Amino acid sequence: MIKDIPDYYNNINLILDEIWTLLQRGVVDRNEDFRLPVVIANSDEGADGRIVVLRGAFKDKNILRFHTDYRSPKIEYLKKNKKIYFVFYSKKRKIQVRAEGTATIHKDNEIAKQAWTKTQMMSRKCYLSPQAPGDLISESASDLSKDMGGNVPTLEQSEIGYKNFCVVESKIKSFEWLYLASQGHRRAKFLIDENKNTWLVP
Protein backbone atom coordinates (compact mmCIF):
# COMPACT_ATOMS: atom_id res chain seq x y z
CA MET A 1 0.00 0.00 0.00
CA ILE A 2 1.33 3.45 -0.95
CA LYS A 3 1.62 5.79 2.05
CA ASP A 4 0.58 9.44 2.33
CA ILE A 5 -1.78 9.44 -0.58
CA PRO A 6 -5.21 11.04 -0.47
CA ASP A 7 -8.35 8.89 -0.48
CA TYR A 8 -9.27 10.06 -3.99
CA TYR A 9 -6.01 8.76 -5.46
CA ASN A 10 -7.59 5.47 -6.53
CA ASN A 11 -11.25 6.30 -5.94
CA ILE A 12 -12.87 8.23 -8.77
CA ASN A 13 -16.10 8.57 -6.79
CA LEU A 14 -14.44 10.98 -4.37
CA ILE A 15 -12.92 13.32 -6.94
CA LEU A 16 -15.93 15.38 -8.02
CA ASP A 17 -16.73 16.26 -4.40
CA GLU A 18 -13.08 17.20 -3.92
CA ILE A 19 -13.23 19.48 -6.97
CA TRP A 20 -16.26 21.33 -5.61
CA THR A 21 -14.70 21.58 -2.15
CA LEU A 22 -11.60 23.21 -3.66
CA LEU A 23 -13.70 25.56 -5.79
CA GLN A 24 -15.81 26.61 -2.81
CA ARG A 25 -12.67 27.17 -0.73
CA GLY A 26 -11.33 29.34 -3.53
CA VAL A 27 -14.41 31.57 -3.33
CA VAL A 28 -13.98 32.28 0.38
CA ASP A 29 -10.22 32.01 0.93
CA ARG A 30 -7.80 34.47 -0.67
CA ASN A 31 -4.92 32.11 0.01
CA GLU A 32 -6.36 29.30 -2.08
CA ASP A 33 -4.92 29.04 -5.59
CA PHE A 34 -8.31 28.02 -6.94
CA ARG A 35 -9.46 31.57 -6.22
CA LEU A 36 -7.69 32.81 -9.36
CA PRO A 37 -8.50 30.66 -12.39
CA VAL A 38 -7.54 31.37 -15.96
CA VAL A 39 -10.76 31.93 -17.91
CA ILE A 40 -10.72 31.36 -21.65
CA ALA A 41 -13.22 32.70 -24.15
CA ASN A 42 -13.13 32.64 -27.93
CA SER A 43 -12.53 35.84 -29.85
CA ASP A 44 -12.82 35.96 -33.64
CA GLU A 45 -9.08 35.26 -33.79
CA GLY A 46 -9.15 32.30 -31.41
CA ALA A 47 -8.82 31.46 -27.74
CA ASP A 48 -8.08 34.29 -25.31
CA GLY A 49 -7.34 33.78 -21.60
CA ARG A 50 -7.10 35.94 -18.50
CA ILE A 51 -7.17 35.58 -14.69
CA VAL A 52 -10.35 36.35 -12.75
CA VAL A 53 -11.41 36.05 -9.12
CA LEU A 54 -13.74 33.11 -8.54
CA ARG A 55 -16.82 34.63 -6.88
CA GLY A 56 -19.19 31.70 -6.74
CA ALA A 57 -19.13 27.89 -6.97
CA PHE A 58 -22.61 26.36 -6.77
CA LYS A 59 -22.36 22.59 -6.70
CA ASP A 60 -26.13 22.00 -6.76
CA LYS A 61 -26.46 23.94 -10.04
CA ASN A 62 -22.98 23.18 -11.47
CA ILE A 63 -22.31 26.87 -11.82
CA LEU A 64 -19.15 28.94 -11.45
CA ARG A 65 -19.34 32.69 -11.19
CA PHE A 66 -17.08 35.69 -11.65
CA HIS A 67 -17.60 39.45 -11.88
CA THR A 68 -16.44 41.65 -14.69
CA ASP A 69 -16.88 44.93 -16.51
CA TYR A 70 -19.68 44.64 -19.05
CA ARG A 71 -17.61 46.75 -21.47
CA SER A 72 -14.63 44.38 -21.41
CA PRO A 73 -13.72 42.50 -24.61
CA LYS A 74 -14.41 39.09 -23.06
CA ILE A 75 -18.10 40.02 -22.79
CA GLU A 76 -18.23 40.66 -26.53
CA TYR A 77 -16.59 37.29 -27.13
CA LEU A 78 -19.01 35.50 -24.80
CA LYS A 79 -22.03 37.12 -26.41
CA LYS A 80 -20.94 35.69 -29.76
CA ASN A 81 -19.79 32.34 -28.42
CA LYS A 82 -21.02 31.13 -25.03
CA LYS A 83 -18.38 28.44 -24.70
CA ILE A 84 -16.10 29.15 -21.76
CA TYR A 85 -13.18 27.33 -20.17
CA PHE A 86 -11.53 27.55 -16.75
CA VAL A 87 -8.11 26.32 -15.67
CA PHE A 88 -7.31 26.05 -11.96
CA TYR A 89 -4.01 24.95 -10.47
CA SER A 90 -3.06 24.50 -6.85
CA LYS A 91 0.68 24.21 -6.46
CA LYS A 92 0.34 23.26 -2.81
CA ARG A 93 -2.14 20.48 -3.57
CA LYS A 94 -0.61 19.51 -6.94
CA ILE A 95 -4.04 19.54 -8.52
CA GLN A 96 -5.08 20.96 -11.89
CA VAL A 97 -8.76 21.25 -12.77
CA ARG A 98 -10.01 22.16 -16.21
CA ALA A 99 -13.67 23.03 -16.66
CA GLU A 100 -15.74 23.57 -19.77
CA GLY A 101 -19.06 25.37 -19.68
CA THR A 102 -21.62 27.69 -21.19
CA ALA A 103 -21.66 31.31 -20.09
CA THR A 104 -24.63 33.50 -19.21
CA ILE A 105 -24.14 37.23 -18.64
CA HIS A 106 -26.18 38.84 -15.87
CA LYS A 107 -26.47 42.58 -16.27
CA ASP A 108 -28.83 44.73 -14.21
CA ASN A 109 -30.97 41.81 -13.09
CA GLU A 110 -31.58 40.27 -9.66
CA ILE A 111 -28.34 38.26 -9.72
CA ALA A 112 -26.28 41.30 -10.70
CA LYS A 113 -28.01 43.49 -8.10
CA GLN A 114 -27.45 41.01 -5.29
CA ALA A 115 -23.81 40.51 -6.24
CA TRP A 116 -23.21 44.26 -6.51
CA THR A 117 -24.75 44.86 -3.06
CA LYS A 118 -22.21 42.44 -1.55
CA THR A 119 -19.25 43.88 -3.47
CA GLN A 120 -16.65 45.73 -1.40
CA MET A 121 -15.87 49.37 -2.12
CA MET A 122 -12.33 48.48 -3.16
CA SER A 123 -13.69 46.07 -5.80
CA ARG A 124 -16.27 48.61 -6.99
CA LYS A 125 -13.41 50.93 -7.88
CA CYS A 126 -12.69 48.71 -10.90
CA TYR A 127 -16.04 49.66 -12.43
CA LEU A 128 -15.71 53.44 -12.13
CA SER A 129 -13.57 54.11 -15.20
CA PRO A 130 -15.31 56.23 -17.86
CA GLN A 131 -13.33 54.31 -20.48
CA ALA A 132 -13.82 50.64 -21.19
CA PRO A 133 -11.20 48.09 -20.13
CA GLY A 134 -8.71 47.70 -22.96
CA ASP A 135 -9.32 51.18 -24.45
CA LEU A 136 -6.12 52.85 -25.66
CA ILE A 137 -4.88 55.73 -23.53
CA SER A 138 -1.95 58.03 -24.20
CA GLU A 139 -0.47 58.08 -20.69
CA SER A 140 0.25 55.77 -17.80
CA ALA A 141 -3.02 55.82 -15.86
CA SER A 142 -5.92 53.67 -14.72
CA ASP A 143 -8.23 55.85 -16.77
CA LEU A 144 -8.41 59.41 -18.02
CA SER A 145 -10.68 60.64 -15.22
CA LYS A 146 -9.49 62.15 -11.96
CA ASP A 147 -7.42 59.32 -10.49
CA MET A 148 -8.62 58.08 -7.10
CA GLY A 149 -5.11 56.84 -6.34
CA GLY A 150 -5.17 54.60 -3.27
CA ASN A 151 -8.51 56.04 -2.12
CA VAL A 152 -11.55 53.87 -1.76
CA PRO A 153 -14.78 55.34 -3.16
CA THR A 154 -17.62 56.22 -0.83
CA LEU A 155 -20.80 54.18 -1.23
CA GLU A 156 -22.35 57.08 -3.13
CA GLN A 157 -19.33 57.48 -5.45
CA SER A 158 -19.23 53.74 -6.07
CA GLU A 159 -22.83 53.43 -7.26
CA ILE A 160 -22.02 54.82 -10.70
CA GLY A 161 -20.03 51.62 -11.31
CA TYR A 162 -23.15 49.48 -11.26
CA LYS A 163 -23.96 50.33 -14.88
CA ASN A 164 -20.64 48.73 -15.89
CA PHE A 165 -20.87 45.71 -13.62
CA CYS A 166 -21.97 42.25 -14.61
CA VAL A 167 -21.86 38.70 -13.33
CA VAL A 168 -20.78 35.88 -15.61
CA GLU A 169 -22.23 32.53 -14.66
CA SER A 170 -20.92 29.40 -16.33
CA LYS A 171 -22.89 26.19 -16.37
CA ILE A 172 -20.23 23.52 -16.21
CA LYS A 173 -20.51 20.63 -18.67
CA SER A 174 -17.31 18.81 -17.81
CA PHE A 175 -14.38 18.77 -15.44
CA GLU A 176 -11.00 17.25 -16.00
CA TRP A 177 -8.84 16.49 -12.96
CA LEU A 178 -5.08 15.98 -12.83
CA TYR A 179 -3.32 15.03 -9.62
CA LEU A 180 0.47 15.02 -9.66
CA ALA A 181 2.16 12.38 -7.51
CA SER A 182 5.65 10.89 -7.56
CA GLN A 183 4.17 7.41 -7.33
CA GLY A 184 2.17 8.07 -10.50
CA HIS A 185 -0.11 10.89 -11.65
CA ARG A 186 -3.87 10.46 -11.80
CA ARG A 187 -6.23 11.98 -14.35
CA ALA A 188 -10.00 11.72 -14.59
CA LYS A 189 -12.80 13.23 -16.65
CA PHE A 190 -16.34 14.02 -15.50
CA LEU A 191 -19.22 14.61 -17.89
CA ILE A 192 -21.75 16.36 -15.71
CA ASP A 193 -24.98 16.12 -17.75
CA GLU A 194 -24.32 12.50 -18.68
CA ASN A 195 -23.34 11.69 -15.08
CA LYS A 196 -20.33 9.78 -16.41
CA ASN A 197 -16.76 9.63 -15.27
CA THR A 198 -13.62 7.86 -16.40
CA TRP A 199 -9.94 7.64 -15.62
CA LEU A 200 -7.58 8.96 -18.31
CA VAL A 201 -3.90 8.42 -18.95
CA PRO A 202 -2.19 11.43 -17.35
What is the binding site for ligand FMN (CB under 6 A)? 36, 48, 50-53, 66-69, 72-74, 133-134
Nearer to ligand FMN, 163 or 196 (CB): 163
Rounded Cα distance between 96 and 38, Å, is 11
- Return d(Cα 128, Cα 120) in angstroms, integer: 13
Q: In which element (H, E) is residue 79 found?
A: helix 73-80
> Are 199 and 187 a contacting pair, CB within 8 Å?
yes
Instruction: Give the nearest distance from C-beta 48 to ligand FMN in angstroms.
Output: 6
Shortest Å, Cβ 64 to ligand FMN:
12
For 3-43, the DSSP string reads: SS--GGGG-GGGHHHHHHHHHHHHHH-TT-GGGS-EEEEE-
Q: Shortest Cβ distance from residue 137 to ligand FMN (Å)? A: 14
Smallest separation, CB 54 to ligand FMN (Å): 8
The overall longest dimension of the chain from CA atoms, in Å, is: 64
- Minimum distance from residue 172 beta carbon to ligand FMN (Å): 18
Output 48 or 159, the one with its CB closest to ligand FMN: 48
Closer residue to ligand FMN (CB): 16 or 36: 36
Residue among 68 and 129 whose Cβ is closer to ligand FMN: 68
* Among the listed residues 177, 2, 16, the one whose alpha carbon sits nearest the alpha carbon of residue 86: 177
Instruction: Please say which residue, 69 or 169, places its beta carbon nearer to ligand FMN.
Output: 69
Per-residue burial over 126-151, b = 16 or more CB atoms within 10 Å of its CB, e = otherwise: bbbbeeebeeeeeeeeeeeeeeeeee
Min CB(187)–ligand FMN separation in Å? 27
Give whichever of 103 and 188 is closer to ligand FMN, judged by the CB atom.
103
Distance CA 175, CA 15 (A): 10
